[in-house]
């Protein structure tokens, strides 16, 4: 056991790409646990792209790390001393100790790791947050069907590698995007993706099209930027796009995609927006429900409506041209012939 | 009964806003129904914004009207003569007769209108496609909860007026956007929306913010353009945005919002894309399922993973900086301390 502790604090908010000088490594004494507390020693610190967001001020889904504060992060820790009956010396726990060697905890938020599930490091990897991000985003939002095509970037990474493999388990075609030939080979040969494309390829869009001859049904968005632009034209009707990250944009000071679109996608992520196109016939099965409820609401006066009528078929072009300008006031109708009776 | 029939055909594809010269009104003979056919007389022709899409070539969810073809459209028709046992002279039916006074039909796609539900014109209005667009888009996608805020544009129109009123029925706050004071007054006083804002107001964004003091939870998108830009900053976390139309963009030749974003929203609509942000903690309830499935898949070799390890806490800043550039190959971990025996 080390005789002193160490921690990494944030000393300045990065402008664009973080620099080593944005961090300071500090030595400190190993703290002593008080009543009900445990002393943890960090074995594994997970580094994940979301941390870039914690370094910046501005709206996100979590507060930023304060200047001078220890960088946040998920960790696998060993309990070195315990004054808390829920934990014993030697327990291995999942914690958010952050970028430091030691931590005092009151036990809240700690979870014992079951070593029977896999090596303890997997608790912050394939069996931890990154794996669960892949699992829920793909299955609960992406909902890949057998024979569909799933595309994911950062395909050799913690999230992307799980996304493609789960897609294959569900019978879908998995196409990865990764940086460089070695990663692409790994993704295809070791992970069993159907194809993997180097995002540095100057013909990225054309290569992606070749790899997705039936278009793209699920795009698991974790990078943004140029990959999204290559993916977009290939999306099929009813495609689903879970958005869990935009790593290619995290360091952006000037957006590489148009500012408005980049800001839009950041908001989709941080606010967990759902943007979904539809036309009414997609919901044909709901017609009975609709007619039952709406006719009742109209009868009860709970839904009122107004008709804006132009007379005679000849009026249709002008009425329609007006409709696009908002010249109508209520439901635009053309009375083509006399009403019956 | 008129002695001759009339129809409106498309003679040129509009560039930007349609002009009267893009249409031609033609006289023709009233056709005679053959075996199994019915002759329909149009009483009501519904004009709807989607028709602008049918006038243009290029990908959409339906084929364009051919040059020289009769403009498409939903209609309420009377059966004038029938050689089809399913329909009797005098029946009132919902049809897609298009912009014409008469139509021969084999009966396919015709639906008898139940006059007990409301005036027959409502079959192409509040009890028809526009009403059902509002109902399904709001309830099945928007899912407004009591106390939430729902915003809809074109609020005095066929779809928007129903959206806001259904939102109120479900206990939500309804804020409309409409063109001009008369429409706004109608939306507030007659339809009972909580507020309505004139989209011509130069302070649209500020006025909308005042009208939505708790932000926006559902934005029912039917116009696009400037309204969407005013709405976007006010969206709350987990807001839902059903997209059923982009009327403000239908006449665009050069997009009024940046081209990339405009094209994106058009695709969201025509391909019925779902774009949804999430972070893993939104799915905390799925953790048990995840751990059960994923640990099994890892054990079975169906999910493989790779760890990319840097040594010592001091390596964290450089490793993290590399992570954002894709320097890692697999799940990035820092070995802060020795693994436990």
Q: Name which of B237, B226, B306 is nearest B261 in CA terms.
A: B226
Other residues' Cβ atoms within 10 Å of the Cβ of residue A32: 10
Q: Which of B61, B101, B251 sits opposite A279 (nearest CB)?
A: B61
Q: A46: pLDDT confidence band, cut at 50, 70 and 90?
A: very high
Q: A255: pLDDT confidence band, cut at 50, 70 and 90?
A: very low
CB atoms A133 and B280 under 8 Å: yes
| Start-end of CATH 3.40.50.720 domains in chain B | 129-270
Query: To the nearest whole angstrom, how far is the Cα of A109 from the nearest Cα of chain B?
Result: 13
pLDDT at A254 over 60: no
Rounded to whole angstroms, what are the CA distances from B212 to A252, A313, B153, B238, B242? Answer: 31, 42, 14, 16, 18
pLDDT for residue B26: 93
Give the global pTM.
0.86
**How large a percentage of chain A has pLDDT more than 90?**
51
Structure-block tokens of residue B71? 């403009």
Q: Which of A120, A302, A305 sits opposite B125 (nearest CB)?
A: A305
For A113, the closest chain B residue by CA position comes to B291
pLDDT at A108 over 70: yes
Higher per-residue pLDDT: B279 or A214: A214
Q: Which of A178, A302, A320 sits opposite B18 (nearest CB)?
A: A320
pLDDT for residue B341: 46
Task: Spell out, as residue ranges, where chain B has pLDDT lower than 70.
Answer: 1-2, 59, 248-263, 340-341
CB atoms A272 and B275 under 8 Å: no
SS3 for chain B is CCCCEEEEEECCCCCCCCCHHHEEEEEECCCCCCCCCEEEEEEEEECCCCHHHHCCCCCCCCCCCCCCCECCCCEEEEEEEECCCCCCCCCEEEECCCCECEEEECCCCCEECCHHHCCHHHHHCCCCHHHHHHHHHHHHHHCCCCCCEEEECCCCCHHHHHHHHHHHHCCCEEEEEECCHHHHHHHHHHCCCCEEEECCCCCHHHHHHHHCCCCEEEEEECCCHHHHHHHHHHEEEEEEEEECCCHHHCCCCCCCCCHHHHHHHHHHHHCCCEEEECCHHHHHHHHHHHHHHHHHHHHCCCCCCCEEEEECHHHHHHHHHHHHHCCCCCEEEEECCCCCC
pLDDT for residue B262: 63
CB atoms B241 and A276 under 8 Å: yes
Q: How many residues does chain A have?
A: 341
Structure-block tokens of residue B54? 């049918």
CB atoms B280 and A117 under 8 Å: no
Name chain A contacts of B123, Cβ cutoff 8 Å.
Answer: none
CB atoms B179 and A267 under 8 Å: no
Rounded to whole angstroms, what are the CA distances from B114 to B1, B91, B97, B111, B122? Answer: 23, 10, 19, 9, 11
CB atoms B298 and A92 under 8 Å: no
pLDDT at A225 over 80: no
Q: Name which of A7, A4, A79 is nearest A43 in CA terms.
A: A79
For B72, the closest chain A residue by CA position comes to A316
Structure-block tokens of residue B150? 């729902």
Least confident range of A6-10, A60-64, A204-208: A60-64
Distance CA B341, CA B338 (A): 9
Q: Name which of A73, A106, A31, A58 is nearest A263 in CA terms.
A: A58
CB atoms A186 and B306 under 8 Å: yes
pLDDT at A258 over 60: no
Structure-block tokens of residue B105? 């039909």
pLDDT for residue A261: 60
Distance CA A104, CA B55 (A): 68
- Best of A152, A190, A303 to disrupt the B interface by mutation (most B CBs within 10 Å)? A303
What is the DSSP code (8-state) at residue A221? B
Q: A341: pLDDT confidence band, cut at 50, 70 and 90?
A: very low
Q: Name which of B101, B1, B19 is nearest A314 in CA terms.
A: B101
pLDDT at A174 over 50: yes
For A242, the closest chain B residue by CA position comes to B276
| Start-end of CATH 3.90.180.10 domains in chain B | 5-121
Query: To the nearest whole angstrom, how far is the Cα of A28 from the nearest Cα of chain B?
Result: 13
Size of interface A-B (CB pairs under 8 A): 471
Topology adopted by domain B5-121:
Quinone Oxidoreductase; Chain A, domain 1 (3.90.180)
pLDDT at A19 over 70: yes
pLDDT for residue B148: 97
Query: To the nearest whole angstrom, how far is the Cα of B255 from the nearest Cα of chain A?
Result: 13
Query: To the nearest whole angstrom, how far is the Cα of A10 from the nearest Cα of chain B?
Result: 10
Query: To the nearest whole angstrom, how far is the Cα of B282 from the nearest Cα of chain A?
Result: 9
Q: Which of A17, A239, A324 sits opposite B271 (nearest CB)?
A: A239
Q: Which of B47, B100, B186 sits opposite A320 (nearest CB)?
A: B47
Distance CA A340, CA B120 (A): 10
Query: To the nearest whole angstrom, how far is the Cα of B210 from the nearest Cα of chain A?
Result: 20
The class that CATH gives domain A129-270 is: alpha beta
CB atoms B235 and A275 under 8 Å: no
Helix ranges (H only) for chain A are 51-54, 129-136, 158-169, 181-189, 204-211, 225-231, 259-270, 287-299, 316-325
Name chain A contacts of B274, Cβ cutoff 8 Å.
Answer: 141, 239-241, 274-277
For B191, the closest chain A residue by CA position comes to A304
- Best of A65, A336, A338 to disrupt the B interface by mutation (most B CBs within 10 Å)? A336
pLDDT at A59 over 80: no
**Is the ipTM above a cut-off of 0.90?**
no
Distance CA B272, CA A329 (A): 28
Q: Is A158 within 8 Å of A48 (Cβ atoms)? A: yes
**CATH tag, A5-123:** 3.90.180.10
CB burial class (10 A; 0-12, 13-18, 19+) of residue B27? exposed
Q: Which of B43, B243, B325 sits opposite A277 (nearest CB)?
A: B243
- Best of A273, A307, A310 to disrupt the B interface by mutation (most B CBs within 10 Å)? A273
Name chain A contacts of B42, Cβ cutoff 8 Å.
Answer: 313, 336-337
pLDDT for residue B84: 97
Match 């790899």 to its residue by tokens: A211
A237: Cβ contacts below 8 Å, ≥ 6 apart: B61, B270, B271, B272
Highest-confidence segment of A70-74, A263-267, B272-276? A70-74
pLDDT at A78 over 90: yes
pLDDT for residue B255: 46
Q: Is A88 within 8 Å of B270 (Cβ atoms)? A: no
pLDDT for residue A222: 86
- Best of B274, B283, B307 to disrupt the A interface by mutation (most A CBs within 10 Å)? B274
CB atoms B324 and A251 under 8 Å: yes
Least confident range of A200-204, A290-294, B66-70, B213-217: A290-294
For B43, the closest chain A residue by CA position comes to A337
Distance CA A70, CA A65 (A): 7
Query: To the nearest whole angstrom, how far is the Cα of B257 from the nearest Cα of chain A?
Result: 8
Name chain A contacts of B306, Cβ cutoff 8 Å.
Answer: 156, 161, 186, 190
Q: Which of A131, A140, A183 sits opposite B294 (nearest CB)?
A: A131
Query: To the nearest whole angstrom, how far is the Cα of A34 from the nearest Cα of chain B?
Result: 23
């Amino acid at each position: 056991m080390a005789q002193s502790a160490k921690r990494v604090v944030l000393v300045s908010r990065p402008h664009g790409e973080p620099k080593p000088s944005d961090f300071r490594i500090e030595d400190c004494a190993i703290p002593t646990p008080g009543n009900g507390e445990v002393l943890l020693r960090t074995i594994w610190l997970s580094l994940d792209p979301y941390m870039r967001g914690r370094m910046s001020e501005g709206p996100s889904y979590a507060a930023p790390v304060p200047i001078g504060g220890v960088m946040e992060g998920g960790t696998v820790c060993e309990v070195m001393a315990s004054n808390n009956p829920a934990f014993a010396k030697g327990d291995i726990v999942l914690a958010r100790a952050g970028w430091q060697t030691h931590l005092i905890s009151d036990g809240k938020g700690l979870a014992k790791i079951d070593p029977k599930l896999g090596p303890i490091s997997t608790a912050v990897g394939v069996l931890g947050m990154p794996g669960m991000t892949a699992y829920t985003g793909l299955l609960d939002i992406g909902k890949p069907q057998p024979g569909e095509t799933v595309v994911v970037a950062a395909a050799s990474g913690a999230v992307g590698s799980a996304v493609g493999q789960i897609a294959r388990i569900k019978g879908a075609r998995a196409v990865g995007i990764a940086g460089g030939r070695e990663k692409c080979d790994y993704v295809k040969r070791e992970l069993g993706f159907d194809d993997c494309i180097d995002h540095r390829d100057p013909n990225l869009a054309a290569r992606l099209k070749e790899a997705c001859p039936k278009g793209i049904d699920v795009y698991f968005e974790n990078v943004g930027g140029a990959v999204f632009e290559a993916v977009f034209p290939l999306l099929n009707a009813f495609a689903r796009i879970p958005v869990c990250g935009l790593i290619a944009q995290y360091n952006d000071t000037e957006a590489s995609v148009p500012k408005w679109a980049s800001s839009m996608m950041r908001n989709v992520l941080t606010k967990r927006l759902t943007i979904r196109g539809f036309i009414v016939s997609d919901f044909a099965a709901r017609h009975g429900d609709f007619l039952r409820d709406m006719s009742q609401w109209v009868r009860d006066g709970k839904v009122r409506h107004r008709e804006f009528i132009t007379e005679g078929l000849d009026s249709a072009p002008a009425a329609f041209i007006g409709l696009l300008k908002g010249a109508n006031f209520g439901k635009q109708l053309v009375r083509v012939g006399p009403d019956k009776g």
